[in-house]
Amino acid sequence: MSSILNKPFTLPCGVTIKNRIGKAPMTEGLADLWDNPTPELARMYRRWADGGIGLSVTGNVMVDRRYLERPGNVVLEDERSIDQLRAWAVAGTSNDTQLWMQISHPGRQSPIYVSRKPVAPSPIKVEMLWVHGQPRALEENEIQDIIQRFVRTAEIAKKAGFTGVQLHGAHGYLISEFLSPLVNKRTDQWGGSLENRARFLLESVRAIRASVGPDFPISVKLNSSDFQKGGFSEENSRTVIQWLQQESVDLIELSGGTYEQMAVFDEEGGATAEGEKVISAASAKREAYFIDMARKIRQQCDVPLMVSGGFRTVEGMEEAVASGVTDLVGLGRPLSSEPNLANHILDGSVTSARIATKNIALGKRWFSPASDNRRIRVLNSFADVGWHATQIDRMGKGGSVDWNLSPLSGMLQFFVGGMIKQIKRKEK
């Protein structure tokens, strides 16, 4: 039995999480054609809750149905789906599990088959394959509107029975875009200095806190770095985390990367702006991608942390928590193929998560020599994401994990299924 990981953890707001294993947010795509929660979504979250996790953070819940991270996202603009939300909350909070809703706006990372004209701080397009359109810059009144949408979504989540919320400020979505000097070229109060670039995030947190009160957990998912030269850096991240602690944020989930530099999706680790390795998942002692960044944060502030990305061995998880570097271990892909993994970790019956996929063997002849490595890595990353998203879909529908599914098949099902869902969504 893992005594360290079994130990409860109390947040600054007074809420206690029963153990140190959290489900990191993952894309689900299980909403109906009207963007509402479904019985499939509730079934999946009950499986995770019964599987032993202490904290369950949902995938992206969108605040504006015009802009989705992918078709199948739940959208929460008003209370029209309150009954379905309550059913989801009841399922996800079973077994004394904390269930937090991740509130998100995709910004320029809304796929072109969802939004041909996405929005962003500045009109700078995602430079990756063909998936995203040219964005337009948000107007001042639109920025204020999105902040209020975040607040409204948090209010409804609390009313429906979710036990906390998380603002998605990582992975190149809208909040992350405001933080990035590569994407945010604004010259008004929302751009320029780090203080101005962080204004959108900080004002959103303040507005949500004022609405939900001091006893309701608020978390932020934040990049340790974008891993792009001239982008949101580790130094920037540490400063923003100190500001967030001053705003009474209860937990920072530390992650990293964007669609353009997908460190968080890459089992081999990403690259820093200087071209150095982020961290490899090969070593039990250093398997978490962002553990070094967490260690630096600990030297500056004591805000509660959940480090997500790369954990695979129980030894690595226990060491990270026992050392005090992180308070919770965030597991994503391992739980999409082994929903009962937390129970097995806590009772000592396993020593590591099962590694589900291998990279696709894509011939380099498909690409020009100058772009071979980057494009192959992007496709491999999307194949891995697609494989795990397909397993979530299968389990939500009452099925079991298909361990024989190839990463290429998973990627095709992920993209083609999303496009078909979007076509039906427009026809409804």
**What pLDDT does residue 226 have?**
67
The least confident of 103-112, 281-290, 335-344, 380-389 is 281-290
**What pLDDT does residue 130 have?**
73
What is the average pLDDT score of the chain? 88
- 371: part of which helix (H) or strand (E)? none
* Residue 33 burial class via C-beta count within 10 angstroms: exposed 0-12, middle 13-18, buried 19 and up: middle
pTM of the model: 0.91
Kindly state the average pLDDT of the residues 287-315. Answer: 89
Q: How far is CA 213 from the centre of its chain?
A: 24
Rounded Cα distance between 10 and 250, Å, is 10
Share of the chain above pLDDT 70, in %: 86
**What pLDDT does residue 201 have?**
98
Question: pLDDT tens, 23-38?
Answer: 999 999 999 999 999 9
Does pLDDT of 388 surpass 70?
Answer: yes
Does pLDDT of 263 surpass 50?
Answer: no
Does pLDDT of 262 surpass 90?
Answer: no
Share of the chain above pLDDT 90, in %: 71
Give me the numbers of helices (H) and strands (E) for the chain, helices first please: 14, 13
Q: Are 33 and 428 in contact (CB under 8 A)?
A: yes
Question: pLDDT tens, 181-214?
Answer: 999 999 999 999 999 999 999 999 999 999 999 9
Rounded Cα distance between 53 and 56, Å, is 7
Rounded Cα distance between 106 and 90, Å, is 27
**What pLDDT does residue 381 have?**
75
**Which is more confident, 383 or 32?**
32
Kindly state the average pLDDT of the residues 223-250. Answer: 90
Kindly state the average pLDDT of the residues 258-263. Answer: 57
**Which is more confident, 36 or 382?**
36
Residue 281, both tokens: 């998942």
Residue 400, both tokens: 């079991």
Does pLDDT of 266 surpass 60?
Answer: no
**What pLDDT does residue 257 have?**
65
Question: pLDDT tens, 138-165?
Answer: 999 999 999 999 999 999 999 999 999 9
**What pLDDT does residue 336 have?**
93
Q: Are 183 and 177 in contact (CB under 8 A)?
A: yes
User: Which sign, positive or negative, has the C-alpha torsion 98, 418, 331, 53?
Assistant: positive
Does pLDDT of 365 surpass 60?
Answer: no
CATH entry, 3-358, from 3.40.50.1390, 3.20.20.70, 3.40.50.10300, 3.20.20.100: 3.20.20.70
Does pLDDT of 374 surpass 90?
Answer: no
Residue 280: pLDDT band (50, 70, 90) is very low
**What pLDDT does residue 176 have?**
96
**What pLDDT does residue 51 have?**
98
